[in-house]
Amino acid sequence: MRTARAAKAPFRRAAALLAPLAALALALALPQAAAADKHALLIGINAYPDNPNFRQLTGALNDVELMRGVLVERLQYPEGNITALVDRQATRTGVIDAMTALAGSIAEGDEVYIHYSGHGSTTCDLSGDEARTVESTLVTYGSRSGAAIAAAGSCAAPNESEARAAARLAASDPDDYDLTDDRIRQLVAGLRRRAGLVVMVSDTCHSAAITRVGDALPTRGVPIDGRVNPDAFLEPPPDAGSLGSLISISAAGMTEKAVEYSGAGNGKNYGAFTWAWAQALQAARPPDTWSHVLDRTRAYLNERKQGARHPVFEETSPFPRPSPRQVFADGKGGSRAFTVLQTLGPSESGGKKRAIVNAGILAGVTPGTVFVKGDPKAPAARLTVARSSELQSMCEVTEGEAARGDDVELFSWAPGGMSIKVRYRADLPGDEGLLPQARAIFEGMTMVEEASDPAEADVAVWILRPPAQAAAAPSDGSAPADGASPPQPAPFLPPSDPAAPPEIWLVSAAEDSFLWGFERLRAPLEGDGPDRLRANFIQAAQAHNLMTLPSPPGRGPEVLVSYLIMFPADQAEWQAAPKEARFPQEDTMEGRYWTLSREVAADSPSVMPQDGENLVVVKAENRSRLEYCVYALNVNPAAQIVPFVPALDTRTSTEVPAGATRVFHESALLLEHPAEYVRVIVTQIPFAVTMMAQPEFALLRTWPIKASAPDTLSDLLIYGMTLTRGPISAGSPASWSTSSTTFGQ
């Protein structure tokens, strides 16, 4: 026996040596599973020429090109795998055919992204599969072309045999009808039979907004179609148990309005949601999930306070407990690097050396921004941005040489100028002579300018004569009663009564809410009304400018800031808690006690407080080799700016030394409103926080402190608080950063 075992030993050693080779040979012989591919279908409809009652849109086709760029450059979608349907290509039949063809062409496990920008609506639900008596629709090109469309009204089910006959008749001209939720679910189910993930984004809404004049930014919704749709009795798709994952994102809830956005800074309009969504995708990094990206999108929408601010997210998976899907799950995309995409020699670009860099307006890169290659102190090349598109910038190579594929670093950043564009309107022709009094409200505010094109305005200023007891219509509509179709929201601006006294109203560009969502922006034209409105506008504009304060692009924070969320405790609980996890630090034998509930990052776009009272304490971890100062400011729903790190009534320092961690126990923020906004600023250059204190009835014309050297942050804060405009210094992006969080909805 011993001899036999000894004889097999050399064979075992040889087999061990040959095993890897055999495995390699087997792997090469077997067919290899191809890596999952990515496909996209982008649908945009601006033109609805066949129905004069529909507002023509201006940003849907821009959405298509914007999302094409984001998918290719940020998420690494192959350009050849992206199909676009625009205007007359995007009929009901065209969309159905494109989704059907896509389902037949993808491979097992592929990723599919679908984006729709255009009008949405509703139709009566006759199949009974909706919780409401209506179902959502996408208004495809050519829908409702001159037909007598039923007005919004009852959706009580007709006689079933008559309804089925009407559905069969409608099927003879399907492109005259909207694309229903039921049909979309069926088409998406076809995609999910092969795709590992389907992401479907809809930048539309399902209620019609009525605006006073045509230069208001359009809302992406039209009234209900009361006819029987060809898909009224469509069979539901098969059970999702064997299908791939689905992420469904809608720009607006059932009663919210999706609007268009003109503030990109390049003279183009986009869907307000699509622009914010693209910004959030541009900022996304591994391991961000699609849900995280939508949280950032909500934060951007909340900062601008324009249109719908509660996009709907739904993730469906065949697995019982799916982990949230990551945006960069395949390892492609998500890099922070700025890279030279292309170079142009003097003969190609008017005698100058130029280079194209993979960062543009979405990332906050504007003309005057400087990139460098190599050591910033002795760069091998210096590139100065001459102009920017959404995703790229054309740079002049002012020093050295740049080549395609070079990584470059942001050296100095010059954010675009700050302005608020206004259009003026009188509801009654006889009141146009009152418009000069409206213009006088903004006297001395050089940041405020009259829009040369009314459609590009950020603010609509109206002279109205509201009837007695008239109030603005709620901007979010209301839920439908059982058995009725959803009411179409009334115009936000009330009708004018010639006998009523005149008022000035400051409203959003879409005319669907008061400006930036702040109240108190209407006043009588008589007495001290204009003075009160001026003071309220100043306060609202200061809060808006702080909420939309830009941050240097492309850099990770040098100081990690987080919020310690404290919950009420009794004295015994407080004493038992570690000192760093309680507030206040020392027992004063009076007042209240708080202990740590959880810690969240300050760059979390939104945080839902726990039921009951919540206290927010700021913590900062400085990972750099330099000292930084930390400031935290609260903006409440009344547009009041309240610094709490440091508090105005304290002399607390805000420095965090290099390599140190500091918890600012000296002051805290008590959350007192359903929604509270916090802006954190981290900077190497300290400033007097008293500059953020808002005067009650006067415009700031002086500044308590100004940096001795050019400083981008100081310029932005000065202009934002004084509502003036001037040159903004280009400064080092490493010298400061900022982040924001909304607590609540």
Query: What is the reported pLDDT for 146?
Result: 62
Whether residue 450 contacts residue 424, with contact meaning beta carbons closer than 8 Å, is answered with yes
Give the DSSP H/E element, type plus range, for residue 600. Answer: strand 593-601
Can you give the three-state secondary structure of 156-225, one letter per residue? CCCCHHHHHHHHHHHCCCHHHCCEEHHHHHHHHHHHHCCCCEEEEEEECCCCCCCCCCCCCCCECECCCE
Task: Give me the pLDDT at residue 652, please.
Answer: 79
Could you tell me if 624 and 732 are in contact, meaning their C-beta atoms sit under 8 angstroms apart? no
Backbone angles phi, psi at 2, to 5 degrees: -65, -40
- List, in sequence order, every residue forming a beta bridge with 397; answer none if it has no partner: 383
Please give the single-letter amino acid code of residue 488: Q
Which parts of the chain sit beneath pLDDT 70? 1-35, 127-132, 146-158, 207-216, 238-242, 306-308, 320-322, 417, 470-490, 554-556, 588-590, 693-710, 745
CA distance 40 to 72: 10
Q: Are strands 593-601 and 606-607 parallel, antiparallel or unpaired?
A: unpaired
> How many CB atoms are closer than 10 A to CB 451?
20
449 exposed, middle or buried (CB, 10 Å; 0-12, 13-18, 19+)?
middle
**Number of CB atoms found within 10 A of residue 473's CB:** 17
**What is the pLDDT at residue 225?**
87
| CA 347/CA 599 separation, integer angstroms | 57
Q: For residue 10, what pLDDT is reported?
A: 35
Report the distance separating Cα 115 and Cα 203, nearest Å.
Answer: 8
Task: Give 740's strand partners.
Answer: 679
Tokens (6 digits) for 190? 């076809």
Cα–Cα distance list, 730 to 328, 366, 385, 672, 735 (Å): 33, 11, 12, 38, 11
pLDDT at 2: 31
- Provide the pLDDT for residue 718: 85
Contact 278, 285 (CB under 8 A): no
- In contact, 505 and 523? CB cutoff 8 Å: no
63 φ/ψ angles, rounded to the nearest 5 degrees: -60, -40
In whole angstroms, give the CA distance from residue 153 to residue 481: 11
Strand 615-622 relative to strand 669-670: parallel, antiparallel, unpaired? antiparallel
Alpha-carbon distances, residue 262 vs 30, 59, 287, 456, 504 (angstroms): 55, 9, 31, 6, 23
Q: What is the DSSP code (8-state) at residue 434?
A: G
Do the Cβ atoms of 525 and 500 come closer than 8 Å?
Answer: no
User: Terminus-to-terminus CA distance in the chain, angstroms?
Assistant: 79
- Assess contact for 269 and 262: CB atoms under 8 A: yes
- Measured CA to CA in angstroms, residue 711 lies from 318, 547, 685, 727, 728 at distances of 53, 19, 8, 11, 8
3-state secondary structure of 270: strand
Residue 287 DSSP class: T
180 - beta bridge partners? 137
pLDDT of 25 = 39
Query: What pLDDT score was predicted for residue 209?
Result: 44
DSSP secondary structure letters along 500-564: SPPEEEEEETTSSSBGGG-S--EEESSTTHHHHHHHHHHHHHHHHHHHT----TT---SEEEEEE
Nearest to 224 by CA among 481, 489, 45: 489
